[in-house]
Amino acid sequence: MNLLYKSTRNAGRTATASEAILKGLAEDGGLFVPEYIPKLDVTMDELKGMTYQETAYAVMKQFLTDFTEEELKDCIAKAYDSKFDTEVIAPLVKVGDVYHLELFHGATIAFKDMALSILPHLLTTAARKNHVKNDIVILTATSGDTGKAALAGFADVPGTKIIVFYPKGGVSRVQELQMVTQKGDNTAVVAIHGNFDNAQSGVKALFEDKELEKELDAQGYQFSSANSINIGRLVPQVVYYVYAYAKLLENEEITSEEQINVTVPTGNFGNILAAYYAKQMGVPIAKLICASNENKVLFDFFRTGVYDRNREFVLTSSPSMDILISSNLERLIYTIAGQDAEKNADLMRQLNEKGSYEITEDMKKKLDDFEGGFATEEETAEAIRTTYAHTGYVMDTHTAVASYVCAQYRKNSDDGKKCLIASTASPYKFARSVMSAIDKKYAEWDEMDLIDELKSISNTEIPRAIEEIRNAEIRHNRECDADRMKDTVKEILGV
């Protein structure tokens, strides 16, 4: 069976998996979604003996049905190799009485590597399958992690160029250094004067600009996306939730068919949506706990059914979650609207025009899988400090948001199910915030001295990604106003 993809805003148009990956965003501004969520065709007992690569094939072959076995296995082999610093790719670590799925052992020490290691290979394979002659221009907005992971994935990949926009002053120093020191003749990095939502809205507007599309085509270029709006980003993320459940089973931490809860630090909603898709595929997940920082637009949505971005934008110590427009939520809205593209398009129009929308009572009833929670800056720091004091385990700020929310959910409910936390970044990436949470004396320390101290107190090795930026040359220093993104792209491409 060939699984086709539809736009969340137009039920009439379909695309194959490879076409959806190539386009990134549908022509009408909608996101590509599979016509249905496929079921796993292997049992959990079979999965528990599989490597990460074998699990990836078992999951991804169900979604990417127009890729041959050889093509898909080749993409997987190239993605999940020695660029990860652990052989198992995504280790499971028991911390107290919860399980952390460490998704930060790739080239840029954040969970985005899990999908962005494979996306360039899926994209170039898709281009060949669809006889694309143009160079693919990857256009991406980042709140910190996607940018570097995409740059690392696409650097010097033939037939591609990549342009990353990030909010100036809105990412950590390590995140910024990782991007502005990126090598590769096909890479460009631009700091915009604005926040992540400005960058993301600007990128979406460029995708929807038909005049620009014609200009680019005339010069041999076409856009695609590495943001989590691309289905080629989302599908690989489903893999690690399937893998984690199988490993819990293999390690005899859970029994066959035992349900678990999953807590995910959430910004753009892609990571938790992948867990929702894993549940639809047959993984015994009970609650999906959506953890927000002080930009708690998703917490308020799950509580009230109203999505309202008209609020103060807060810069926090967990910058990858400093988001007020969670793009991937549209895929869930489309699903709970009964795949009604017209209804979804109307809600997205309201969001664009007045900054908010409210779902119906029927739609609210379909959100029972989800639970929302949030952590303040103080609560995030407290979670880092107390977890370290009790267990010796050091976690980053984003994972700490999830840890706090998970603990609050367990305390306030009578739900005693085992809990998996998506651990989304290395503490080394946010060393200042992490170390200051453990002890205020570190607040005045030099960034690189903090990294050495973190190594000492955590008994972990400094990741390659950090060592590489210590003395790296700054290669990208371009900046622009949020309303000049189109001109900047044309200038970079020489259009």
Tokens of 135: 């160079």
pLDDT lower than 50: segments of the chain: none
The residue written with tokens 């037939």 in the block is 159
Contact 384, 397 (CB under 8 A): yes
Neighbours of 252 (CB within 10 A): 8
Q: Where are the alpha helices (DSSP H) in 28-103?
A: 44-47, 52-63, 69-79
Q: Is 303 left (phi over 0), alpha (psi -120 to 50) or beta?
A: alpha
The residue written with tokens 């009578």 in the block is 414
pLDDT tens readout for residues 161-204: 999 999 999 888 888 999 999 999 999 999 999 998 899 899 98
Contact 53, 77 (CB under 8 A): yes
- CA distance to 127, 160, 189, 418, 493, per residue, from 134 (Å): 9, 9, 22, 49, 13
- CA distance to 36, 221, 317, 347, 435, per residue, from 451 (Å): 45, 41, 17, 45, 9
Is-catalytic flag, 112? yes
Contact 341, 9 (CB under 8 A): yes
Distance CA 13, CA 4 (A): 10
Residues 6+ apart with CB under 8 A from 338: none
Q: β-strands 356-358, 306-308: how paired?
A: antiparallel
Distance CA 187, CA 174 (A): 18
Residues 6+ apart with CB under 8 A from 204: 25, 29, 327
Distance CA 343, CA 350 (A): 11
Q: Where are the alpha helices (DSSP H) in 12-144?
A: 17-23, 44-47, 52-63, 69-79, 112-116, 119-129
CA dihedral 298, 304, 308, 312 (to 10 degrees): -70
Catalytic residue, from 48, 112, 296, 429: name it.
112
Residues 6+ apart with CB under 8 A from 251: 92
